[in-house]
């Protein structure tokens, strides 16, 4: 297949349904390699339970394996079945996701479990269309679940696969570009083997994660070395093309640490947006007076406590400078109990579903108080 990788490669113009000989060996080489050198002992590989596969695939979206393992084990311990997840409170689910990031994944997973109970009678659906119809499951994740749980012949296209394709077939352009992605989906369909769909999907992921890594790929150990165009042309360093980046903006916010009776006040954030559904510290515009804001918003008379240093948290799309302002609540002028406010001891607060930087602040505070005793 000579056209692959050229800017106007043939399969974008006239897709060939029949793979060439070299494309057939692509899959079989990968599968053979996977059986011998791939990963087989990850916690979610000990089962074909579609629910377990599903949870793992959602956690692994944009998240590295090492970060997921502990979360996966605790999550499955607490929510071993679709029914148990569907019946859980959102707070309980978010608590298990706290620190893992991309919290819409947790909200969607929870919602989808309830959908499976209502729409599918508690049985995880088996067709690609029905799987992909669940919130939080796109084409690649649906295919991965179908491949691992049901041995179904659907191609995956995640970051690993894109990297392997971009290098092996010398595909130009950033893989996030719709044109490039469309080209890769067509390629993925042609390369899909006739059998061993689970091992093939795992092989692509293992290749991308352990050999065909972003930097310093281990081409010496690669089963595709003899056919890899990037290797042949010495272009593994420049492929795949990287995403064009813009400078990210910086923002500042003041977080109120309202303390009373050895407890701290947490406020539930709106369901969407940054840290949606998590419990967090109240935020005040940094140009405003924190104590005045505490009175106006909550009816609290407060005494300033010694502040501690600014905490900078970097997101993918902006940088946030957090100015913590500890305040001792002396008196509540008005009742302010709502479902979106709770008072917790520091020990309980760090166990709640809170964003990572808030955890850092509360841990610092707890350490300070311990040191004073």
Partner DNA sequence: TACGCGTGGAT
Partner DNA sequence: TATCCAAGCGT
- What are the residues binding DNA (CB under 7 A)? 39, 42, 44, 56-57, 60-67, 99-104, 108, 135-142, 144, 158-160, 163, 177-178, 205-206, 208-209, 214-216, 242-243, 245-246, 273-276, 313-317, 355-357
Token code pair at residue 269? 């954030």
Q: Distance of alpha carbon 241 from its chain centroid, rounded?
A: 22
Q: Please state, in angstroms and rounded to a whole number, the distance separating the CA atoms of residues 348 and 359.
A: 11
Q: Please state, in angstroms and rounded to a whole number, the distance separating the CA atoms of residues 120 and 130.
A: 9
Q: How far apart are CB 353 and DNA at their closest, in Å?
A: 10
Residue with smaller CB distance to DNA, 3 or 276: 276
Helices (H), 60-103: 65-78, 82-87, 90-97
Residue with smaller CB distance to DNA, 63 or 286: 63
Max CA pair span of the chain: 79
Residue with smaller CB distance to DNA, 201 or 265: 201
Instruction: Write the Ramachandran bin of 299: left for phi over 0, alpha for psi from -120 to 50, otherwise beta.
Output: left
The closest of 125, 114, 119, 49 to 83, measured between CA atoms, is 114
Residue with smaller CB distance to DNA, 318 or 367: 318
Residue 312: its H or E element: strand 311-314
- HSE (CB half, 13 Å, CA atoms) of 82? 20
Is 57 catalytic? The answer is: yes
Residue with smaller CB distance to DNA, 248 or 332: 248
Token code pair at residue 108? 């969607």
Which of these is catalytic: 8, 16, 23, 57?
A: 57
Q: Could you write out the DSSP letters of every residue in 149-211? A: HH--------HHHHHHHHHHTT--S-TTSHHHHHHHHHHHHHH--SS-HHHHHHHHHHIIIII
Instruction: Write the Ramachandran bin of 254: left for phi over 0, alpha for psi from -120 to 50, otherwise beta.
Output: beta
Q: How far apart are CB 209 and DNA at their closest, in Å?
A: 4
Contact 309, 276 (CB under 8 A): no
Label residue 67 exposed, middle or buried (CB < 10 Å: 0-12, 13-18, 19+). Answer: middle
Residue with smaller CB distance to DNA, 17 or 178: 178
- Residue in the structure block whose two tokens are 């970051």: 159
Token code pair at residue 183? 């080209």
Q: Please state, in angstroms and rounded to a whole number, the distance separating the CA atoms of residues 149 and 128.
A: 12
Token code pair at residue 289? 């007076």
Label residue 123 exposed, middle or buried (CB < 10 Å: 0-12, 13-18, 19+). Answer: exposed
- Supply the residues annotated as catalytic: 57
């Amino acid at each position: 297949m000579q056209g692959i990788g050229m800017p106007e490669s043939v399969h974008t113009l006239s897709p060939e349904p029949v793979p060439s000989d070299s494309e057939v060996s692509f899959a079989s080489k990968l599968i053979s390699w996977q059986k011998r050198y791939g990963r087989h002992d990850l916690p979610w590989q000990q089962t074909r339970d579609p629910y377990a596969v599903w949870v793992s695939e959602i956690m692994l979206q944009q998240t590295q394996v090492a970060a997921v393992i502990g979360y996966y084990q605790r999550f499955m311990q607490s929510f071993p079945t679709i029914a148990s997840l569907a019946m859980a409170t959102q707070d309980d689910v978010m608590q298990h996701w706290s620190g893992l990031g991309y919290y819409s994944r947790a909200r969607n997973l929870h919602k989808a479990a309830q959908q499976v109970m209502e729409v599918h009678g508690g049985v995880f659906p088996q067709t690609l269309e029905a799987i992909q119809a669940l919130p939080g499951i796109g084409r690649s994740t649906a295919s991965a679940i179908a491949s691992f749980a049901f041995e179904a012949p659907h191609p995956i296209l995640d970051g690993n696969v894109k990297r392997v394709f971009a290098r092996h077939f010398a595909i130009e352009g950033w893989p996030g570009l719709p044109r490039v992605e469309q080209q890769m989906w067509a390629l993925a369909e042609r390369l899909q083997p006739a059998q061993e769909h689970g091992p093939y999907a795992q092989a692509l992921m293992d290749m991308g994660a352990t050999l065909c890594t972003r930097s310093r790929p281990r081409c010496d150990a690669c089963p595709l070395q003899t056919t890899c165009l990037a290797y042949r042309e010495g272009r593994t360093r420049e492929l795949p093309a990287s995403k064009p980046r813009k400078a990210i903006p910086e923002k500042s916010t003041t977080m109120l640490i309202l303390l009373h009776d050895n407890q701290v006040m947490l406020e539930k954030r709106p369901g969407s947006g940054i840290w949606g559904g998590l419990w967090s510290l109240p935020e005040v515009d940094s140009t405003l007076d924190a104590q005045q804001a505490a009175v106006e918003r909550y009816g609290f008379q407060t005494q300033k406590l010694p502040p501690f240093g600014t905490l900078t948290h970097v997101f993918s799309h902006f940088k946030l400078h957090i100015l913590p302002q500890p305040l001792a609540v002396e008196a509540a002028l008005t009742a302010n109990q709502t479902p979106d406010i709770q008072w917790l001891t520091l020990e309980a607060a760090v166990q709640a579903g809170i964003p990572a930087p808030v955890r850092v602040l509360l841990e610092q505070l707890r350490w300070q108080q311990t040191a004073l005793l």
